[in-house]
Amino acid sequence: MSLIKIINFPTIGDERGSLIAMEAKDQIPFNIKRVYFIFDTQKNVSRGFHAHKDHQQVAVCVSGKCRMTLDDGKKSEEVWLDSPNKGIFIDKHIWREMHDFSDDCVLLVLANENYSESDYIRSYDQFLKITNQ
Ligand code: TYD
């Protein structure tokens, strides 16, 4: 089973331009409690390098692109987030890394919980212990 769980957001377009809605009831498989976005990422910077104990997230590049790798402790897969239509569901216990940010990249993340450092697994060794036990 693929680690890459793509959510396709329909574009609502008319002669004025485009609009995309992300609603918990239709596209997002949890109630959204927090929204954050990553932008102005400097050249050759990669981010992420963590998993969550419980939190779930959906990530989408609303502008530009980046390459995301997802790892469940057994296998790793990568996906380009390169369209505002293309979201990725990231479940708990998935190690994520983001690379190759374009200058114009705005990576939007929706989360089902408030920020809590205690939910982070920031050591890859600890992540492997948790996922392979
Ligand atoms: P971090 O999660 O380490 O960023 P990334 O994994 O994308 O590289 O977060 C960077 C900093 O921002 C860290 O000090 C925690 C803080 N932060 C918040 O205060 N609230 C949030 O919702 C998030 C995601 C991070």
Per-residue model confidence as pLDDT tens digits over 21-67 = 999 988 999 999 999 999 999 999 999 999 999 999 999 999 999 99
Domain holding 72, by residue range, is 5-131
Minimum CA distance residue for ligand 1 atom 18: 115
Residue 30 has a CB neighbour count (10 Å cut-off) of 15
Answer whether 88's CB lies under 8 Å from 97's CB: no
CA of 16 to the centre of ligand 1 (A): 35
The CATH number assigned to the domain holding 123 equals 2.60.120.10
pTM, two decimals, is 0.96
pLDDT the model gives residue 124: 98
Residue 27 near residue 9, CB atoms below 8 Å = yes
CB 99 near ligand 1, within 6 Å: no
* H helical segments located in 1-133: 124-131
**For the chain, what is the domain count?**
1
Beta bridge partners of 63: 106
pLDDT at 122 over 90: yes
Residue whose entry in the numeric block shows the structure tokens 């205690």: 118
